[in-house]
């Protein structure tokens, strides 16, 4: 965020709250943010919290953080707030053309998909949209790059799939960690030790993969010596492409839900 820009966050739930925390932790002044959320108990120190749409003033862009199913009901209330502003949307499944239809007086419409690691500055942040000139696009990329790594997606038809991978992906990783620990416990390891080992292992493996010149597939083979313990376990995961096929089904279901959410919002709008 450039020094002169201010943001209004409309609906500051889990994701919006994580992004706000990430920006504040990265040194963006709290006074650059306002939140409009009737259900939020308390905003971070220095961030002004509003309960009604008539209250916010002096902001340059808007971040939509409410549920996508609420778009049809809420959009009419926010026409004045979005007049001439860049609208950034966290609304899963809501395409750019739907944002343009909902907020026709906005100057630009940009879909944004981070994950909860935005809170610690470790999130991929995918953006796609229209209405930004080259300078504004660079500013937007710099703003969201503060939360991790911002990437611009030119092909919006891939947005739901990218969201399934990068946005929903942490949920799948957490489930894997839980399952890995649970499997060890079922085989006789004590719960606290299994949890600690699973978490520590995943953290180390992730950091090593991030900093390595080798691909994850190459690293897996590097760990697994022929005829050894790791190779025997990988044989189970690789048999019939069991793990890959499971994840194809997982990502497909997740991406299709994004399209369904868009349909729900259209029906209610």
Record the pTM. Answer: 0.85
DSSP 8-state class, residue 91? -
Work out the angle at residue 68's Cα, subtended by the Cα atoms of residues 65 and 69, and round it to the nearest 5 degrees: 135
Do 169-259 and 7-157 fall under one CATH topology? no
Q: Of all residues in the chain, what percent carry a pLDDT higher than 70?
A: 96
- Is 18 in contact with 116 (CB distance < 8 Å)? yes
**Mean pLDDT in residue range 134-149:** 94
pLDDT band at 235 (very low <50, low <70, confident <90, very high): very high
**Mean pLDDT value of segment 160-186:** 95
Instruction: Provide the residue ranges of all domains of the chain, joining segments of one domain with +.
Output: 7-157, 169-259
CB 93 within 8 A of CB 258: yes
For domain 7-157, give the CATH number: 3.40.50.720
For 192, 196, 231, the CA distances from 187, given in Å and listed in that order, are: 14, 16, 19
**Which two structure tokens, joined as six digits, stand for 186?**
């079922």
Look up tokens 């690293």; give the residue: 219
Lowest-pLDDT choice from 2-11, 44-53, 228-237: 2-11
Query: For residue 48, what are the β-bridge partners?
Result: 34
Q: How confident is the model at residue 4 (pLDDT cuts 50, 70, 90)?
A: low
Q: How confident is the model at residue 264 (pLDDT cuts 50, 70, 90)?
A: low
**C-alpha closest to that of 258 among 78, 95, 63:** 95
Taking domain 169-259, whether its CATH number is 3.40.50.2000 is answered by no
- If DSSP codes are grouped into helix, strand and coil, which group holds residue 195? helix
Pairing of strands 123-130, 108-113: antiparallel
pLDDT confidence band for 259 (50 / 70 / 90): confident
**pLDDT tens digits, residue range 52-94?**
999 999 999 999 999 998 999 999 999 999 999 999 999 988 9
């Amino acid at each position: 965020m450039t020094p002169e820009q201010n943001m209004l966050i409309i609906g500051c739930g889990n994701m919006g709250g994580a992004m706000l925390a990430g920006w504040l932790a990265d040194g963006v002044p709290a006074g650059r943010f306002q939140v409009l959320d009737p259900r939020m108990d308390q905003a971070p120190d220095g961030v002004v919290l509003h309960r009604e749409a008539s209250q916010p003033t002096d902001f340059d862009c808007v971040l939509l953080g409410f549920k996508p199913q609420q778009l049809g009901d809420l959009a009419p209330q926010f026409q004045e707030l979005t007049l001439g502003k860049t609208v950034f949307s966290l609304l899963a499944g809501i395409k750019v053309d739907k944002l343009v239809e909902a907020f026709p007086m906005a100057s630009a419409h940009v879909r944004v998909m981070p994950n909860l690691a935005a809170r610690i500055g470790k999130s991929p942040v995918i953006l796609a949209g229209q209405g930004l000139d080259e300078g504004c696009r660079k500013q937007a990329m710099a703003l969201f790059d503060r939360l991790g790594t911002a990437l611009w997606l030119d092909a919006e038809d891939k947005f739901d799939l990218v969201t399934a991978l990068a946005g929903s992906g942490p949920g799948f990783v957490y489930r894997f960690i839980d399952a890995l620990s649970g499997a060890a416990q079922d085989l006789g390891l004590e719960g606290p030790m299994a949890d600690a080992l699973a978490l520590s292992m995943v953290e180390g493996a992730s950091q090593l993969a991030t900093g390595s010149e080798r691909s994850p597939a190459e690293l897996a083979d590097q760990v697994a010596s022929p005829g050894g313990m790791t190779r025997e376990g990988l044989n189970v995961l690789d048999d019939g492409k069991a793990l890959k096929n499971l994840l194809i089904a997982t990502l497909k279901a997740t991406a299709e839900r994004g399209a369904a959410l868009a349909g729900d919002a259209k029906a209610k709008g």
